[in-house]
Chain A
Amino acid sequence: MSNTNPLLDVSGLTKHFPIKGGFPIRRTVGAVQAVDGLDFQVAEGESLGLVGESGCGKSTTGRLITRLLEPTGGRVTYRGQDITHANRKQLAPIRSEIQMIFQDPYASLNPRQTVGKIISGPMEINDINPPGGREKRVRELLEIVGLNPEHYNRFPHEFSGGQRQRIGVARALALEPKLIVADEPVSALDVSIQAQVVNLLQKVQRELGIAFVFIAHDLAIVRHFSQRVAVMYLGKIVEIGDREDLYDNPRHPYTRALLSAVPEATVDEEPRERIRLVGDVPSPINPPSGCRFRTRCWKATEKCATEAPPLVQVEGNKPGHLTACHYPETEPTIPAPRLSKDPEAAA
């Protein structure tokens, strides 16, 4: 991890969606605290995985980075340039460098445009004229993502979900970006096709040296794709670290719970204890005080309710492995303390 000169630097990033209500005069009656103070960096060519349950603010984070949403607070810096509140004109030079791949392959392609138009659109907008013309470049891109270049004139409805997602990848690549935010790019796809698309993204990342923010709701996919992983819970990062550190030595109870839900990779191990999280994710309108995970945490104490744990390198973590918990897990392996059959081991 190179903290020295990150491509993307996010600090204290916050997004609160106002809730309007009242009649006849509508006013703000509350706020959905979708994202509440995120800090992370993405180095050039690096892939950061962003993982968390549904509704924890992953998409919102992605949309804040790509500036589809206006942040409520905090700072987004791209290559040293503050883009937190940049408008469309100010963003223009950076637009081509930060691209996005969307979750829904059916909604993310305009049904009335041919594949050729969809992929050449970004070049047209940014007035990019590749040698040999845009059409040639589109054919190249189609080839890169594993589609038939002759399908240039087809419409999205003539493609399958996986193929559509490849078109979305080609569109993102059209501007030769430095950073791609991929918002659950495979979760809408059939399991048998997911691996293909992940492999395609991996190939793109390695060959073209593009940095990724890869959003997913389960840790399994991110494990193959991201060198670094951040785990989110209710709008906050609870743990972030290099892949090996995070998977082999998860310190936050929530990370453990998520990991225990990942299907067994090896067969010879004796069946792992699964941590079953009880209760629902609290509402982001009125999140719990102190540690946001405390309502579902089996180790929660008074302190957790009053004091929000800072995201720091807790004792025993490697550099760059940060955990936000007052009582980080200490055991190296997975078995959950409370559910363990052997009370000695849990102590």
Chain B
Amino acid sequence: MTLPTPSAAVPLEVTDESVEKVTTSGDPKGGEGRSPGRLAWKRFKRDRTGVISACIVIFFFVIGVAAPLIAKLYGKDPYTTYASQDPSLLDAFSYPAGPNGGMSSEFWFGIEPQLGRDVFTFLLYAIRNSLGIATAATLLTTIVGVVVGVTAGYLGGKTDYLVGRVIDILLSFPSTLFFIAFMPVVYGIFVKPDDNIPTGLVVFSLIVVLSAFGWASIARLLRGQVLGLREREFVEAAKVTGASPMRIVFKELLPNLWTPIIIQSTLMLPAYVTAEAGLAFLGVGVTDPTPDWGVMIGRGATFYTEDITFLLFPGLAMVIFVLAFNLLGDSVRDALDPKSKR
């Protein structure tokens, strides 16, 4: 074989190699590639705010998931009106008899005015329910947004035009107003006007309505990203080798879209927590006696002049959670997309 292999290639390759060796020397697994995901994880670990926020967020989720277990160990539940068993817990005006909203070794976070329920377990279940609804809504929103956005971006043409107009319309709605107007309509479809609305239906409707208005922004973002990626040569390279559209979307495009998807959903979840609480507060979401953050804050707001403690716990918990989650979202964005400037 007479190969005109260039001898000049050797030193050049060597310089390349040495550069690479220097940069990879910190990597314990020499042969293993530094995947973009692993690089992002490394960056994230260096971000103190992000790590602390992540711990707080994880703490809240653990509490939510383990709520029944914690309540069992603690020995109370959020529904029992302890004041009716022991009237001495409340004073003549139905406010907690003890100081600090009735906080004691028995009722850690005090007891609720009027009904005398246990605040600690009520808050546990409130976190559980609120996070559950927000998480489900985030997942549904993300899935719908990703599917619609990627499809519109990849297919282009008429589909894209149509989807684009729908997104424009949805984004121009004042969504909070619409939730308030829409929720009773949705209930009306399933339940007769004077019947009690089952909690399951309320939760289901909340998730559907939140997602129905939420998917547009993530779909628009992904559509734009796909429009850019679609023209990239690696997509053409896949086409030249005969890849099906499915394969191109799932194997070529989607791995490049995880960054915006993760960033968007981490920013979306705390927004849904507050939106859900807001709806409950306004009386169109989950209602008492179902434990819920918004329900608690709503009730707390009616008593706050006499018993600030009852408002303090759910309020503070929510502020801490939403703040931590937003900070986490920022850190995730910084880690995944270091070039983006806020």
Contact = CB atoms under 8 A, between A and B. Distances in A.
Interface of A: 63, 66, 68, 88, 91-92, 95-96, 98-100, 102-104, 107-115, 121-122, 125-126, 146, 148, 150-155, 157-160, 162-163, 168, 171, 175, 192-193, 195-196, 199, 202-203, 207
B32 interface: yes
A126 B237 contact: no
B3 A95 contact: no
Nearest to B243: A125
B101 to A, nearest CB: 53
A55 to B, nearest CB: 17
B36 A112 contact: yes
21 contacts: A95-B241, A98-B240, A102-B233, A107-B232, A107-B234, A108-B233, A109-B237, A110-B256, A111-B256, A112-B36, A121-B241, A122-B241, A125-B241, A125-B242, A152-B31, A153-B33, A155-B35, A158-B20, A158-B34, A171-B241, A199-B5
B237 A100 contact: yes
A88 B238 CA distance: 12
Contacts of A125: 238, 241-244, 247
Interface in B1-25: 1, 3-6, 8-9, 12-13, 16-17, 20, 23-24
Contacts of A66: 240
A196 B237 contact: no
A126 B237 CA distance: 14
A153 B35 CA distance: 9
Contacts of A168: 237
A95 B240 CA distance: 7
A282 B317 CA distance: 68
Contact of B13 (A99, A109, A146): A146
A38 to B, nearest CB: 20
Nearest to B237: A108
Contact of A155 (B16, B31, B33): B33
Nearest to A148: B17
Contact of A202 (B4, B13, B243): B4
Contacts of B12: 162, 192-193, 196
Nearest to B234: A110
Given A102-B237, A112-B256, A158-B20, A150 B31 contact: yes
Interface in B115-144: none
A107 B233 contact: yes
B252 interface: yes
A151 B9 CA distance: 18
Per CB-CB distance, the 6 closest pairs between chain A and chain B, nearest first, are A95-B242, A112-B255, A154-B33, A122-B241, A108-B233, A102-B233
B72 interface: no
A203 B4 contact: yes
Interface of B: 1, 3-6, 8-9, 12-13, 16-17, 20, 23-24, 31-36, 232-234, 236-244, 247, 251-252, 255-256
B83 to A, nearest CB: 58
B255 A113 contact: yes
Nearest to A203: B3
Nearest to B2: A206
Contacts of B34: 154-155, 158
B233 A104 contact: yes
B36 A199 contact: no
Nearest to A157: B36
A5 B34 CA distance: 49
B250 to A, nearest CB: 12
A63, A98, A160: most-surrounded residue (chain B CB, <10 A): A160
Contacts of A202: 4
A283 B34 CA distance: 46
A108 B234 contact: yes
A341 B36 CA distance: 61
Given A99-B240, A112-B255, A125-B242, A203 B233 contact: no
A160 B256 contact: no
Nearest to A175: B241
A195 B12 CA distance: 12
A107, A110, A111, A115: most-surrounded residue (chain B CB, <10 A): A110
A27 to B, nearest CB: 14
Nearest to B238: A121
B241 A99 contact: yes
A207 B1 contact: yes
Contacts of B236: 63, 68, 100, 102, 108
B237 A171 contact: yes
Contacts of B36: 111-112, 155, 157
B242 A199 contact: no
A202 B5 CA distance: 9
